[in-house]
C-alpha cells in the first residue's frame, strides 16, 4: 500500500495547475444516463472516484471513451471524456459497486426518470458522518416515485413517470439537490426545489443539463425551478475548476511560506475561504491566470472559523485550515456544523506535535513553535491532505499512510507540490 513521504522545511514557489472539480465531475458523469446521445465532458480530473464511477456507469450500459492528448498539451490538463448511454442495459446498481463510493447512489434519479424503475444499493463512502439518504428518497417520492428499502436496496419505481411538484429540504443537501434536479429534468410538469444547495457544483450541473435541453432556473439560489422536458440530447461541457483543491494548495502555501500561482483557479468559487485565509496574514491576489498566494516572512495569525453551506466556509477545507492553525500565533476555534465525525484528523495532527482540544463540535487549536515529523494515518479524503500540509513544515520526515484516500480527490498531489520545491514523494509502505 502506498504512502506519501515528506521532508518538511521548504517554501513553495512556482505554479500549481488546478484540476477539474471532483464534486462537479461526478454528477456530470451521472447526467449521461439521462440521454441516449453523447455527452462530452472537458477538464475531467484523473481521480480514483472518477475511475470508480466509470465502472459503475459501464454496468448500466454507458460507453466511455477518453480522448487522446493533443500535441503541446499541458501534462496536467484535464481529460476530455465521451460518455453515451445509448441503451440502459441494467437498472440495478449493486452493493459491491455502490458501497465503494457514496456518490454512485445518485444514479437513482436519472435511472428512475428515464427507465421508470431501478434498484440501487444504499451507499458507502467516507466515515465522516451518517449522511442518510432520506432526503433523496423523500424528494423523489414528492415527484410520484414509489420507493421501498429492502435488503439494503432502494427499490424504486414510477410506473406513470415522475411528475412535477414541490419539495423543501429540511436541511441543505448538495447530493440530493443534484439528484432531484436531474430527475426533474425528465419529469412531467414543473418541479420546485426549496432550500436547495447553492454550491457552484450545483450550478455547473444545471449549466450542463441546460446545454442538454433541460429547462432550469434559479440554480445557485435557495429555490430551483425545473420544467420537465420529454427528452434530453447530447452536449459538450467543461468541468469547473476545483475550489477545494484551490483552497487546499492556498493553505499549503500559507503554511510553508513562498509564492505560488494557482493556475486556472477562480476566486469567486471560494471567496469565504480566501477571505478567512487573508486574515491569517496570507496575501491573496486574483490575476487573469488564476489566484496568486504568498506569505513571505509574515507570522501566521490565529483566526476562528465555522463551516457552513455555500457561500460559507466549506466543510471540505476544515481539516486543511486546522493544520494551518497549528502553526499560528494564539488560539483559534474551529466549529464543524456540517458533519458530526469530521475531527478524526485531530489525533493524527497531535502525533506531529499539534496542540488541539476538542469540545463537541468545536476544536480549540493553540499554535506551536514547531511540528515534528512522524508516521500518521489518513482517515478520509480531506483529513489525509491536512496531514500532508502539516508535514510540509514539520521538522524531519513525515509518512502519511493510507493515501488511497488522497487519490479519490487530488490529482497528482505529490507531483504538483514537488514542482514547487517541496520534498515529497510516493513510496511503497
The C-alpha cell that represents 54 in the structure block = 466509470
- Measured in residues, the chain has a length of 429
Cβ 274 vs Cβ 303: under 8 Å: no
372 grid coordinates: 515534528
Nearest by Cα to 35 from 3, 62, 16, 13 = 62
48, 246 Cβ separation under 8 angstroms: no
Distance in angstroms (rounded) separating the CA atoms of residues 421 and 177: 40
Catalytic residue among 118, 126, 208, 420: 126
Compute CA distances 421 → 166, 247, 259, whole Å.
53, 19, 11
Is residue 380 within 8 A of residue 318, CB to CB? The reply is no
Kindly give, in sequence order, each residue whose CB lies less than 8 Å from that of residue 112, ignoring residues fewer than 6 positions away: 118, 140, 145, 156, 157, 158, 162, 183
- 8 Å CB contact between 301 and 281: yes
102 labelled ligand-binding: yes
- Residue 40, marked binder: no
Is residue 118 annotated as a catalytic residue, yes or no?
Answer: no
Closest listed residue to residue 5, CA positions, set 410, 392, 419: 392
Q: Which residues pair with 358 in a beta bridge?
A: 363
Binding residues for UDP-N-acetyl-alpha-D-glucosamine: 102, 316, 338
Binding residues for phosphoenolpyruvate: 22-23
Active site residues: 126
Binding residues: 22-23, 102, 316, 338
Amino acid at each position: 500500500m502506498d504512502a506519501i513521504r515528506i521532508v518538511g522545511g521548504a517554501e513553495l514557489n512556482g505554479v500549481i495547475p488546478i484540476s477539474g472539480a471532483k464534486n462537479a465531475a461526478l454528477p456530470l458523469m451521472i447526467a449521461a444516463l439521462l440521454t441516449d446521445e453523447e455527452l462530452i465532458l472537458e477538464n475531467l480530473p484523473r481521480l480514483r472516484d472518477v475511475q470508480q464511477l466509470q465502472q459503475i456507469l459501464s454496468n448500466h450500459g454507458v460507453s466511455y471513451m477518453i480522448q487522446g492528448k493533443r500535441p503541446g498539451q499541458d501534462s496536467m490538463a484535464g481529460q476530455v471524456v465521451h460518455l453515451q448511454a445509448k441503451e440502459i442495459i441494467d437498472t440495478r446498481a449493486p452493493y459491491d459497486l455502490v458501497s465503494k463510493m457514496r456518490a454512485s447512489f445518485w444514479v437513482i434519479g436519472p435511472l428512475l426518470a428515464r427507465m421508470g424503475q431501478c434498484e440501487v444499493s444504499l451507499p458507502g463512502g467516507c466515515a465522516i458522518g451518517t449522511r442518510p439518504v432520506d432526503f433523496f428518497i423523500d424528494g423523489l417520492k414528492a415527484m410520484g416515485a414509489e420507493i421501498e428499502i429492502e435488503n439494503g436496496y432502494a427499490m424504486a419505481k414510477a410506473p406513470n413517470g415522475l411528475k412535477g411538484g414541490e419539495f423543501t429540504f429540511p436541511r441543505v443537501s448538495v447530493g440530493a439537490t443534484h439528484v432531484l434536479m436531474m430527475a426533474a429534468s425528465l419529469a412531467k410538469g414543473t418541479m420546485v426545489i426549496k432550500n436547495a444547495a447553492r454550491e457552484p457544483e450545483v450550478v455547473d450541473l444545471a449549466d450542463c443539463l441546460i446545454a442538454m435541453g433541460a429547462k432550469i432556473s434559479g440554480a445557485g439560489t435557495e429555490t430551483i425551478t425545473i420544467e420537465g422536458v420529454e427528452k434530453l440530447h447530447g452536449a459538450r461541457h467543461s468541468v469547473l475548476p476545483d475550489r477545494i483543491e484551490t483552497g487546499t494548495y492556498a493553505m499549503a502555501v500559507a503554511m510553508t511560506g513562498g509564492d505560488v500561482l494557482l493556475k486556472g483557479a477562480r476566486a469567486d468559487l471560494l471567496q469565504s475561504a480566501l477571505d478567512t485565509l487573508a486574515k491569517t496574514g496570507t496575501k491573496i491576489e486574483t490575476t487573469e491566470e488564476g489566484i496568486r498566494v504568498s506569505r513571505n516572512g509574515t507570522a501566521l495569525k490565529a483566526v476562528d472559523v465555522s463551516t457552513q453551506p455555500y457561500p460559507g466556509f466549506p466543510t471540505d477545507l476544515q481539516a486543511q485550515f486546522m493544520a494551518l492553525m497549528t502553526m499560528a500565533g494564539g488560539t483559534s476555534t474551529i466549529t464543524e456544523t456540517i458533519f458530526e465525525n469530521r475531527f478524526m484528523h485531530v489525533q493524527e495532527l497531535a502525533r506531529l506535535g499539534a496542540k488541539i482540544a476538542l469540545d463537541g463540535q468545536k476544536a480549540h487549536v493553540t499554535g506551536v513553535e514547531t511540528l515534528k515529523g512522524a508516521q500518521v494515518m489518513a482517515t478520509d479524503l480531506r483529513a489525509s491532505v491536512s496531514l500532508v500540509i502539516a508535514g510540509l513544515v514539520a521538522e524531519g520526515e513525515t509518512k502519511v499512510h493510507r493515501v488511497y484516500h488522497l487519490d479519490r480527490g487530488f490529482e497528482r498531489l505529490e507531483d504538483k507540490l514537488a514542482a514547487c520545491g517541496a520534498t515529497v514523494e510516493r513510496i511503497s509502505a
